[in-house]
Structure 1
Amino acid sequence: MPRIKPWLTFTEWGQKYGDIAHIEVLGRHIIVLNSAKAAMEMLDSKSILYSGRPVLPMAGELVGWKDSLPFLPYGDLFRQHRRNFHRVIGSRAGMDVYNVVEEVETHRFLKRVLAKPDQLQEYIRHTAGAVILRISHGYEVKENNDPFIDLADRVVANASQATAPGAFMVDILPFLANVPTWFPGAGFKCLAHEWHEALEEMVSAPHKFVKDQMADGTAPMSFTSNLLEGCDMSAEEDHAVKWSAISMYGGGSDTTVSAIYSFFLAMTLFPDVQRKAQAEIDAAVGPDRLPTFADRDSLPYIAALVKEVHRWNIVIPTGFPHCVTEDDIHDGYYIPKGSLVIPNVWFMLNDPRTYVDPSQFNPERFLAKDGKEPETDPRTACFGFGRRICPGLHLADASIWISIVMSLAVFDISKVVENGVEITPEVEPLPLGTISHPKPFKCSITPRSATALGLIEQDADY
């Protein structure tokens, strides 16, 4: 199993062996899907068979993520978690009640970037965490060194490392979970213990914060308070609410950071796209106010730009593995029960058979033009498949949209010039982890005008 950028090796296998490739690692069957068609035929159309999750000894058992939604086996508890999500943020209309949260926190992001544009990635991470913690637990983060943000960022980064394909031998040889910590090569157990302690604190502390506020009658509306309100919950139901909320943070924070950071990279490299997007905002919104969600339907180019962000930088290039719950025969192939199925989402969204010139950042591929149909919406693949599709996709899409439209309304993003030389950023993902982040890069971020500067400096409060 490749450890470094496995999606590129998977792509080579697809080109050599076809859309469905099989490898066997120490008795474990692994199926790699290299086309959206194969993924939809198996993971969508046969979701009753392909909605299981493999037991991941490192991340699930040793670190402790087994109770979170992405790791739950398909069954009653999984469906309960999904119902929790659907009840609160399961639709675009359901997300509308949190529009003010998104708009205020993004406005605060603009202020931070204006003050210190060289700390762009840090501020994207802070804002993504602030939005999700406000929605999940009604918690308003501190401007600097917030304890929940710092802890949560650490926990999510640990999870990305723990779930990377082939990163830990214990995922291939589960019996290694039982070896003592002094055993040669068992350093992963010390790491897992450290990560487990941080995860337990992150799960329990915000939940207790909400329950204490509800007892005092001061709890703002949030995902957690909504689910707890007016219910005499059993310990099991309370546990499900607690882990549903942390699943929201774990699934939405780091992924959103990657997407928004890649947007700034794309604007640095493709100035023509930036100018077209800004022209649409200027025409539809005008220069005298910041865009809001009320403008969403009048900005089709921005909608296409958001789709291209999803396609151009694939946040989870190899998806999250499914597990086959019963033997299956698919397209003449025997798929044994217990097989891991890995969708190579990176290639699906970079397949030249589906996307013209896929390395180019071109939002217009998603607009009907000159009688041509738009290219395939990347959200059919990037948010997962079947019954395992991301339940927070409306939250993710809203967060990315408002960050993009507000940033373009007031900022010009361009290449940095150092000693008279223009620096062109490299399009290169960091090599490790389930969640792919662009390699850090430099860019220039400046207000578009004095009017834009005034809009940024306005108060941003609830």
Structure 2
Amino acid sequence: MLTLTDVTWLNICLVGVGVYVAKQVLIKKNPAPYPPGPAGWPLVGNVSDMPRIKPCLRFTEWGKKYGDITHVQVLGQHIIVLNSVKTAMEMLDSKSAIYSDRPVFPMGGELVGFKDALPFLPYGDRFRRYRKNLHRAIGSRAAVDEYRQIGEIETRRFLRRVLAKPNQLQEHVRHTTGAVILRISYGYEVKENSDPFVGLADRAMDGISQATTPGAFMVDILPLLAKVPAWFPGAGFQRIAREWRETLEEMVSAPHKLVKDQMAAGIAPISFTSNLLEDCAVSAEEDHIVKWSAFSLYGGGTDTTVSAIYSFFLAMTLFPDLQKKAQAEIDAVVGPDRLPSFADRDSLPYIEALVKEVLRWNVVSPTGFPHRATEDDDHDGYYIPKGSMVLPNIWFMLNDQRIYANPSQFNPERFLTNDGKEPEIDPRTICFGFGRRICPGLHLADASIWISTAMSLAVFDISKVVENGVEIIPEFEPSLGSISHPKPFKCSIKPRSATALGLIRQDANY
């Protein structure tokens, strides 16, 4: 990985791009000023200002200093950072016709190969065909209701795995989330232990998270570095990209081929992929769209859901009083003789509020995915030039004191009506993105997080671990990457009662 302090590389790059950057100097007067931002250097602009570690925090500093819209320029590329929900909605929602494109991602998109996945597609016909496929399967609550049984069965299995091996919580969360989406996407039922597709998908999604972190790779700032051979000193990113690309290609192709082979043999279960392959005369182009649509369904719904569910267990470890409130509601509404189901959702407002607070507290995608302006825009008196990269600082939006009281405090009750006070803004209107690029799997992710939360609280007490008489307090320290996960932590997970133990041990297909 290249660093911004590598003087040798910077000199080489400046020679190669000097002429290009010089052409970016304005030869005509802008119709309005750029949004405010840190002053840059001649030619290179704000190269040294772009953060590589936790960019959301640097963007937040800019927002507090310069306002809701910040502008920087890196080697001719205009970058606009949005630091308020209001501005993000005004631009990315209300003006979605010009803010729905994606920039080119040299590392993650081109070198690793994620350019064919839905989040990376430019706005156009192929993007709309992907979205149409996904909307039909999971684009509404009604559509997701078709998969309620899968979610409930797999979550019951999750409870049994946690009971058997509570110290492998993160692995169980990944396994269960993967099981739900692999079943929907490909009709594939995962193996109980060390499933190859689950492991493969985990590696692929870890690659995408690292490859798309803003500023993590110099090639994203200087795209011409993509032409540098892997053997050249400092070009280790080429080797990393090759490894991630091989994992990605296997993850995209292997389950797709499995479905096609099963269809040829007449034994394919009904799934997202089999339905699409049956519904059309499968040209090479259509096969490509089906294959990548299915991967986009998997990729868009697993990593974020894993992060949120793992965050829930961390929150319950840290805030036992809130856990007791949630369990009291389940006990009163559902009772001790059965597990909660989706049919109980409307009757469990505190559980609903708890899920919302988990999504706000650990922001799964801190800086969202960048949008690209396809036309010049004048917004709020500022000039946004065509081709600008627009980054919504979702982390700050969900920690903004203007809309969330005491945002550093974990408080589900902020989303309940108390003493006539209106609930605070639902984080699900923010954390899943904006405009026409909003996450198409948001309803499936929301359902998976809710059922895991409700069932786990019904049967488990989650608490801090005690070692040698000392209570271990986990730290809330999210990992780096475009997808944020809590770092691994220890917690104690035990059945609440003998009755709860019996519910956990029930046949998962019950």
Give the TM-score of the pair, scaled to structure 2.
0.89
- How far did residue 440 of structure 1 move? 1.4
The equivalent residue for 1:329 is: 378
> What secondary structure is seen at the aligned counterpart in 1 of 2:423?
coil
- How far did residue 172 of structure 1 move? 0.9
The equivalent residue for 2:497 is: 449
Residue 269 of structure 1 pairs with residue 340 of structure 2:
no
| Distance in structure 2 (CA, Å) of the matches to 1:292 and 1:211 | 34
Question: Could you tell me which of 473, 483, 489 is aligned with 1:435?
Answer: 483
Counterpart amino acid of residue 174 in structure 1: P
Q: Deviations over 1:260-286 (max 9, x none)?
A: 011001111111211111111111111
| Distance in structure 1 (CA, Å) of the matches to 2:329 and 2:163 | 23
Question: Could you tell me which of 179, 198, 213 is aligned with 1:164?
Answer: 213
| Distance in structure 2 (CA, Å) of the matches to 1:337 and 1:150 | 41
Question: Could you tell me which of 7, 24, 39 is aligned with 2:73?
Answer: 24
Question: Could you tell me which of 362, 377, 393 is aligned with 1:313?
Answer: 362
The equivalent residue for 2:275 is: 226
**Pairs within 5 Å for 1:124-139:** 124-139=173-188
Q: State whether residues 137 and 224 of structure 1, in contact with CA within 8 Å, keep that contact through their aligned partners in structure 2.
A: yes
Residue 241 of structure 1 pairs with residue 290 of structure 2:
yes
> What secondary structure is seen at the aligned counterpart in 1 of 2:302?
helix
- How far did residue 326 of structure 1 move? 0.9
Residue 2 of structure 1 pairs with residue 55 of structure 2:
no
> What secondary structure is seen at the aligned counterpart in 2 of 1:48?
coil
- How far did residue 323 of structure 1 move? 0.7
Question: Could you tell me which of 335, 347, 369 is aligned with 1:298?
Answer: 347
| Distance in structure 1 (CA, Å) of the matches to 2:138 and 2:486 | 28
The equivalent residue for 2:85 is: 36
> What secondary structure is seen at the aligned counterpart in 2 of 1:360?
coil
| Distance in structure 1 (CA, Å) of the matches to 2:279 and 2:437 | 30
Counterpart amino acid of residue 251 in structure 1: G
Q: Deviations over 1:156-205 (max 9, x none)?
A: 10110100101111111111111122222111111111111111111111
Q: Deviations over 1:45-72 (max 9, x none)?
A: 1001111101001111111111110000
Q: Deviations over 1:438-462 (max 9, x none)?
A: 1211111100000000010111138
Which piece of structure 1 moves more, 389-398 or 173-182?
173-182
Q: Deviations over 1:245-298 (max 9, x none)?
A: 101111111111110011001111111211111111111111111111111111
- How far did residue 325 of structure 1 move? 0.7
**Pairs within 5 Å for 1:59-138:** 59-138=108-187
Counterpart amino acid of residue 372 in structure 1: K
Question: Could you tell me which of 175, 178, 181 is aligned with 2:224?
Answer: 175
Residue 460 of structure 1 pairs with residue 504 of structure 2:
no
Counterpart amino acid of residue 76 in structure 1: D
Residue 416 of structure 1 pairs with residue 456 of structure 2:
no
Q: State whether residues 92 and 100 of structure 2, in contact with CA within 8 Å, keep that contact through their aligned partners in structure 1.
A: yes
Counterpart amino acid of residue 162 in structure 2: V
Counterpart amino acid of residue 456 in structure 1: I
Counterpart amino acid of residue 63 in structure 2: G
Q: State whether residues 154 and 179 of structure 2, in contact with CA within 8 Å, keep that contact through their aligned partners in structure 1.
A: yes
The equivalent residue for 1:394 is: 443
> What secondary structure is seen at the aligned counterpart in 1 of 2:146?
helix
| Distance in structure 2 (CA, Å) of the matches to 1:98 and 1:196 | 31
Q: Deviations over 1:11-67 (max 9, x none)?
A: 111111101001111221111111001100110010011111010011111111111
Counterpart amino acid of residue 131 in structure 1: V
> What secondary structure is seen at the aligned counterpart in 2 of 1:428?
coil
Residue 356 of structure 1 pairs with residue 393 of structure 2:
no
- How far did residue 221 of structure 1 move? 2.1
The equivalent residue for 2:192 is: 143
Residue identity over aligned pairs, in percent, reads 79
> What secondary structure is seen at the aligned counterpart in 2 of 1:78?
helix
Question: Could you tell me which of 308, 311, 321 is aligned with 1:259?
Answer: 308
| Distance in structure 2 (CA, Å) of the matches to 1:265 and 1:348 | 22
Aligned residues: 461
Question: Could you tell me which of 240, 255, 263 is aligned with 1:214?
Answer: 263
| Distance in structure 2 (CA, Å) of the matches to 1:452 and 1:424 | 26
Counterpart amino acid of residue 273 in structure 1: L
| Distance in structure 2 (CA, Å) of the matches to 1:280 and 1:225 | 41
| Distance in structure 1 (CA, Å) of the matches to 2:88 and 2:432 | 13
Residue 279 of structure 1 pairs with residue 328 of structure 2:
yes
Counterpart amino acid of residue 171 in structure 1: D
| Distance in structure 1 (CA, Å) of the matches to 2:242 and 2:315 | 39
| Distance in structure 2 (CA, Å) of the matches to 1:75 and 1:201 | 27
Q: State whether residues 324 and 337 of structure 1, in contact with CA within 8 Å, keep that contact through their aligned partners in structure 2.
A: yes
- How far did residue 226 of structure 1 move? 2.1
- How far did residue 231 of structure 1 move? 2.4
Q: State whether residues 53 and 216 of structure 2, in contact with CA within 8 Å, keep that contact through their aligned partners in structure 1.
A: no
Counterpart amino acid of residue 116 in structure 1: K
Counterpart amino acid of residue 6 in structure 1: P
- How far did residue 230 of structure 1 move? 3.7
Q: State whether residues 366 and 375 of structure 1, in contact with CA within 8 Å, keep that contact through their aligned partners in structure 2.
A: yes
Residue 48 of structure 1 pairs with residue 97 of structure 2:
yes
Question: Could you tell me which of 238, 241, 253 is aligned with 1:189?
Answer: 238
| Distance in structure 2 (CA, Å) of the matches to 1:180 and 1:120 | 41
Which piece of structure 1 moves more, 37-46 or 222-231?
222-231
Q: State whether residues 68 and 87 of structure 2, in contact with CA within 8 Å, keep that contact through their aligned partners in structure 1.
A: yes
The equivalent residue for 1:376 is: 425
| Distance in structure 2 (CA, Å) of the matches to 1:418 and 1:253 | 33
The equivalent residue for 1:14 is: 63
| Distance in structure 2 (CA, Å) of the matches to 1:333 and 1:152 | 42
| Distance in structure 1 (CA, Å) of the matches to 2:345 and 2:354 | 12
- How far did residue 238 of structure 1 move? 1.4
Runs of 4+ in 1 over 3 A off after TM superposition: none
- How far did residue 233 of structure 1 move? 2.0
**Largest Rg, 1 or 2:** 2
Q: State whether residues 186 and 272 of structure 2, in contact with CA within 8 Å, keep that contact through their aligned partners in structure 1.
A: yes
> What secondary structure is seen at the aligned counterpart in 1 of 2:87?
helix
* Unaligned runs of at least 5 residues, structure 1: none
Which piece of structure 1 moves more, 415-424 or 323-332?
415-424
The equivalent residue for 2:5 is: none
| Distance in structure 1 (CA, Å) of the matches to 2:341 and 2:264 | 34
Counterpart amino acid of residue 440 in structure 1: P
Which piece of structure 1 moves more, 38-47 or 295-304?
295-304
Q: Deviations over 1:96-123 (max 9, x none)?
A: 1111111111111111111111111111
> What secondary structure is seen at the aligned counterpart in 2 of 1:229?
helix
Q: State whether residues 88 and 226 of structure 1, in contact with CA within 8 Å, keep that contact through their aligned partners in structure 2.
A: no
